[in-house]
């Protein structure tokens, strides 16, 4: 229950949060980033980067035993006019430019995919409708890679929607040209048995703006690495996340914002609700401010709402600062409980029990949901939240 020793700036922790005494970006790498799976040892579970993850539920993604079955996932891309949608071979030069895999499963995905997708929004193209990428699990094992590239001053919203059942390891690269604006909504609305592991690399151009929503509801095990680095000054990243972790589910979000360039901004807000026996959410929030990254402005926050007994949260905010010449840097992590006293209070004001729960959870997520600004996705999330709650009572 102790706070991490390496947190230098105003941190608050409360509730059921477990934090490792020594938990830094460096301790989270058992090998340097690499595109080759052979460069990573097979994890045994005690490594810092794997210690929260139930390896036996990865269905072989981590040890080379999960072989692609050909009927893993079906991908449909619906893009407005002006967008270029391609399927390319492994040797395409545009793959892997946004960052190298940082763990064995991401490297496995990179080493194993046969074809990759590349979606390009040409420079100065401003889309008014979202690009929709539907990834539907067909019950098999799959490896994948997707690139989404925006040319200079292009603007787009991309929705990546994961449904169905699959064992999937797939990475996504987001490449933003100078002044580009990209909003990405990645929804993990998997069936109960699905396993999904992936690394999302964003490389943000000069004065470009990247806004991402990672929304995780479904799956048996979901483990995502959203990562951001900057290619020029003036870049901005807003990383928002919502998860609703149910009985038996393991949902893990491991973020890294690498302030490797001066005068960039980042803002991270992840919120999770948990309910049920063995619901387990893991949140790692690494923010690095490198020595040359003067003028950095960053804030990160993780909040969890525990609705029932038996759920567990591991929340590890971590800010590493190598220069004092910054505008601001802060982080917070808090875990609260929705308990019988709160329920009583709301009911004593005439609000029925199920509505009280809905009020609390919707309220908790509202500030994030409202910012998505893709109507059908917002609506679907609210419906989803209600369904999750109904399933629990």
Which residues here bind other proteins, judged by CB under 8 A?
305, 336, 338, 340-342, 344-353, 355, 359-361, 363-366
Of 223 and 357, the one with the shorter C-beta distance to other proteins is: 357
Strands (E), the chain: 73-78, 84-88, 116-121, 131-150, 155-176, 181-188, 195-204, 209-216, 221-230, 236-245, 250-259, 265-274, 280-289, 297-306, 312-321, 328-337
- Residue 219 Cβ, how far from other proteins at the closest point, in Å? 24
- Residue 358 Cβ, how far from other proteins at the closest point, in Å? 9
Of 115 and 344, the one with the shorter C-beta distance to other proteins is: 344
Of 1 and 348, the one with the shorter C-beta distance to other proteins is: 348
| DSSP letter for each residue of 232-253 | STT-EEEEEEEEEE-TT-EEEE
Of 32 and 350, the one with the shorter C-beta distance to other proteins is: 350
- What lies within 8 Å, CB to CB, of 337 at 6+ separation is 15, 305, 306, 307
- Residue 364 Cβ, how far from other proteins at the closest point, in Å? 3
Of 40 and 338, the one with the shorter C-beta distance to other proteins is: 338
> What Rg do the C-alpha atoms of the chain give, in angstroms?
20
Of 46 and 349, the one with the shorter C-beta distance to other proteins is: 349
Q: What is the largest CA-CA distance in the chain?
A: 64
Beta bridge partners of 172: 146, 200
Give the ranges where the chain is alpha helix by DSSP (H): 104-112, 340-347, 353-372, 375-392
- Residue 385 Cβ, how far from other proteins at the closest point, in Å? 12
- In total, the chain counts a number of residues equal to 393
- Residue 32 Cβ, how far from other proteins at the closest point, in Å? 41
Closest CA to 53 of 224, 201, 300, 274: 224
- Residue 337 Cβ, how far from other proteins at the closest point, in Å? 9
């Amino acid at each position: 229950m102790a706070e991490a020793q390496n947190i230098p700036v105003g941190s608050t922790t409360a509730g059921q949060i477990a934090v490792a005494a020594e938990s830094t970006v460096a301790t989270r790498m058992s090998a340097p980033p690499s595109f080759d799976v052979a460069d990573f040892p097979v994890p045994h579970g005690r490594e810092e980067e794997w210690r929260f993850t139930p390896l036996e539920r990865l269905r072989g993604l981590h040890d080379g035993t999960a072989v692609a079955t050909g009927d893993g996932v079906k991908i449909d891309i619906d893009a407005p006019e002006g967008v270029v949608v391609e399927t390319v071979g492994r040797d395409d030069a545009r793959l892997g430019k946004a960052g190298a895999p940082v763990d064995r499963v991401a490297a496995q995905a990179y080493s194993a995919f046969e074809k990759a997708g590349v979606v390009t929004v040409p420079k100065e193209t401003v889309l008014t409708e979202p690009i929709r990428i539907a990834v539907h699990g067909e019950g098999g094992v799959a490896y994948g890679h997707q690139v989404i590239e925006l040319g200079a001053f292009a603007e787009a919203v991309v929705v990546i929607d994961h449904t169905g059942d699959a064992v999937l390891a797939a990475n996504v690269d987001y490449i933003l040209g100078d002044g580009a604006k990209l909003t990405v909504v990645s929804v993990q609305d998997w069936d109960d048995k699905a396993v999904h592991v992936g690394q999302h690399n964003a490389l943000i151009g000069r004065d470009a703006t990247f806004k991402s929503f990672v929304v995780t509801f479904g799956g048996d095990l979901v483990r995502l690495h959203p990562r951001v680095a900057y290619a020029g000054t003036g870049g901005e990243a807003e990383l928002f996340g919502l998860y609703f972790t149910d009985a038996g589910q393991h949902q893990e979000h491991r973020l890294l914002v690498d302030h490797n360039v001066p005068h960039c901004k980042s803002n991270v807000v992840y919120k999770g609700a948990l309910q049920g026996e063995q619901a387990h959410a893991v949140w790692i929030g690494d923010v690095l401010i490198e020595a040359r990254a003067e003028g950095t402005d960053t804030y990160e926050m993780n909040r969890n709402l525990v609705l029932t007994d038996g759920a567990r949260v591991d929340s590890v905010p971590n800010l590493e600062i190598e220069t004092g010449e910054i505008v601001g840097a802060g982080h917070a992590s808090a875990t609260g409980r929705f308990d019988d006293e709160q329920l009583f209070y709301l009911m004593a004001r005439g609000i029925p029990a199920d509505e009280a729960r809905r009020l609390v959870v919707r309220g908790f997520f509202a500030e994030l949901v409202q910012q998505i600004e893709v109507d059908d996705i917002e609506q679907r999330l609210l419906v989803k939240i209600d369904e999750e709650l109904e399933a629990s009572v």
